[in-house]
Structure 1
């Protein structure tokens, strides 16, 4: 990364940083995408089971992995302030924390999964798939969290293309093991939806080893000696990572868990509704990788400029990121609206599921603009290390506004299951508005300095 002077230079830098992140995010998301897609080709009950399992797994993973995202602004600001000698310690402590979080997730699901699934009124076959899918995924929790820490370090150095290359390898690896374990090809056991979980866990381990080898062997990572002369656990550094990371994690948990909560609450409408809803959420989440990638690019660039105390440049990067995401959101909305039936048919041939998924995709198109605003705004705020008020705003927007509105519309109006999607739109819109106001306030404060 380097200092930019003009808006065109900044836009080019944003593209340079964000484009590899986008490919990386898509490649990483394709692991979940192909779990859902390939399971949908296996059977509706397995699709519903994987959907339920994902609804428990994904928000827990995202919320805790969000803590490790604090490594990006910490390292970016250290680099911007020319304090390279402190980078190694920050990353090593992040790895220690990642191992702890991975073990925490593993033992949580190992002991709690029967109780979590038991509170839901699921068909026995669906419940069985959900339990084994979550157990299988948890076997890959430690490598997944450690890779997140390493990736945050890689991205903070501006080497987002390396993350892209690593993640591009993950999708074909996952598809290969899905092919073996879901359908029982080449003499492997036919595990159905549960096989997708085992395939993902294997993929996480392989990707971690690839990332570790690159950091140990190649420049500019090699010069920092991340895997040499390991320091003792530093609770002071843990505190720094957590003070920034926990609010980020809670914000991400609040946003992702509302989608999972909606999926779980829709279980009362039956297997067909769960499957159709999951198709819409799965494809929409793929499109969300674009504003999310711009958000992560904004964190890196804003953090770098704040570290160098170039607050005017940080402000320009913030709103340039929002403008880019908004522009792309119109394309995403058009894809969802005009291609909703072909999208549904990609996943299933069941006419009932297709008919319902097509209707859900219309609502998905409607919240693209709100998603495109709130994601980069959150990313910019992380670059400023402003995370505490942000997570409060996220909690209110999604859980005090979004989910209650959805529940009321679903329970007391004729919207039924579609009411939850209207609630999602309301929550995302509230989040976009309140977070934008917060960003303006932070930038005004910085300008006064």
Structure 2
């Protein structure tokens, strides 16, 4: 047995206290929190950078915010597909770590880096054609033109961002997600400074407008990837995996497995984010005010979503470890504890949003109470009805990914988000007097249905694992 195998066997061995009756749930909660807290903080850090961008852009007016919203819609359609594929690194590496197979752990990261490279270049074509796409979808040229400038800057950050996601999945799988958090915390002020300088043209730099804001984000993405690569290759405990050894050799069999697991994740992400992107397009058809209010309210929803999304990544790892150990009881505990943790957090934050919705609108739009601010507060009130369901669905989906179950959730996403959610949004938004509020009610209905289906699916598979 090599020293690497000895170290990894020791690192996945359950603590002695795990055998004490009555302490399993407490131990699982502690282990989940140990993973989830840095992952959730990392996600909050990333959304903080996006929120900073929006705050800076918002000072240029509602029309500019609307253009940025359209740009994000196009960009995330491209980025989300790659993100879902690379996200498969986490369950593959976690199962290998639980099975005490360090060589498979590093193979999972390597194949994730290769997959990101192969998929990123084609994905960049979409944001580069953003203006034409938006005009074809019925958006005004006056909004599509500035949106294209923002996309020209954002597109270059797709590849380093995907590489960073692969590294994050690897670090989480080996129970060491802290460096990703440190890197993200350092990136927040760097991003704010770069956006400020390039957007407004300060300190002698040219005023690049929305293109400068997008370019600043891409530069930060490159920096975070390089920092993550340094940790992975040179710092303990990651360097023992020698992830850059034979990096030029593509592991095609594992690449196929990653695609089998990751492609449905990509499609499910696209269906989910595509629904909210389509909602943005619907808002653009209603009015510029509706689109700007939607973007701000959606940004708040995204901020809240980052914590359960971090918990979902912890659930993927914890369930993956248990699957690798072939421990069905641990699989159930990991999934249910994570779901309960996320639901509790989101219920608390929902109350905070309801009470502070007018202050939130003021934060983005200033003290003046106009139609955009009023509609923003209304959408936040409506949106509070699905915040809890949104947290539950992402955590349940993460637990299912830990079992490599991604195809059935894809079918659930198609049914819930588009057959139910999008249809409801269109009917309530355009065939009733509800308008923008009706669109958000439709989003809520689809999200609740999806959450229920995923929890039932996890329960079914967990019970099957426990059956003799």
TM-score range, shorter chain: over 0.9
Q: Give the equivalent residue in structure 1 for 2:434.
A: 415
Q: Which of 266, 284, 294 is the aligned partner of 2:283?
A: 266
Q: Please say if residues 92 and 231 of structure 1, whose CA atoms lie closer than 8 Å, have aligned partners that are also in contact.
A: no
Q: Give the equivalent residue in structure 1 for 2:334.
A: 317
Written as runs of structure 1 = structure 2, the 5 A alignment for 1:349-360 is 349=366, 351-360=370-379
Q: Give the equivalent residue in structure 1 for 2:273.
A: 256
1-side partners of 2:34 and 2:108: how far apart? 25
SS of 2:200's equivalent in the other structure is coil
Q: Which of 413, 422, 445 is the aligned partner of 1:394?
A: 413
2-side partners of 1:177 and 1:297: how far apart? 31
| 1:108–1:268 distance in 2 versus 1, CA, 3 Å | closer
Structure 1 window deviating more from structure 2 (96-105 vs 401-410): it is: 96-105
Written as runs of structure 1 = structure 2, the 5 A alignment for 1:258-407 is 258-349=275-366, 351-407=370-426
The Cα of 1:120 is off from its aligned counterpart by: 4.0
2-side partners of 1:17 and 1:2: how far apart? 17
2-side partners of 1:90 and 1:285: how far apart? 29
Written as runs of structure 1 = structure 2, the 5 A alignment for 1:48-87 is 48-87=66-105
The Cα of 1:2 is off from its aligned counterpart by: 4.9
Q: Which of 163, 186, 189 is the aligned partner of 1:169?
A: 186
| TM-score, length-scaled by structure 2 | 0.93
Cα deviations by residue, 1:402-434 (Å, 9 ceiling, x for unpaired):
000110111111111111101111100110111
The Cα of 1:308 is off from its aligned counterpart by: 0.4
Q: Please say if residues 336 and 364 of structure 1, whose CA atoms lie closer than 8 Å, have aligned partners that are also in contact.
A: no
2-side partners of 1:56 and 1:293: how far apart? 24
1-side partners of 2:404 and 2:148: how far apart? 38
Q: Please say if residues 42 and 192 of structure 1, whose CA atoms lie closer than 8 Å, have aligned partners that are also in contact.
A: no
2-side partners of 1:429 and 1:286: how far apart? 19
The Cα of 1:175 is off from its aligned counterpart by: 0.5
SS of 1:31's equivalent in the other structure is helix
The Cα of 1:181 is off from its aligned counterpart by: 1.1
The Cα of 1:399 is off from its aligned counterpart by: 0.7
Q: Which of 133, 137, 150 is the aligned partner of 1:133?
A: 150
Written as runs of structure 1 = structure 2, the 5 A alignment for 1:91-102 is 91-102=109-120
Cα deviations by residue, 1:190-236 (Å, 9 ceiling, x for unpaired):
23333221110111111111111111110111011111222522321
2-side partners of 1:187 and 1:207: how far apart? 26
1-side partners of 2:111 and 2:32: how far apart? 29
Cα deviations by residue, 1:263-303 (Å, 9 ceiling, x for unpaired):
01111122211111111001111011111111111000010
Q: Please say if residues 102 and 143 of structure 1, whose CA atoms lie closer than 8 Å, have aligned partners that are also in contact.
A: no
Written as runs of structure 1 = structure 2, the 5 A alignment for 1:158-237 is 158-237=175-254
Unaligned runs of 5+ in 2: 1-11, 19-23
* Corresponding residue pairs, total: 448
2-side partners of 1:368 and 1:109: how far apart? 29
Q: CA RMSD for the aligned pairs? A: 1.4
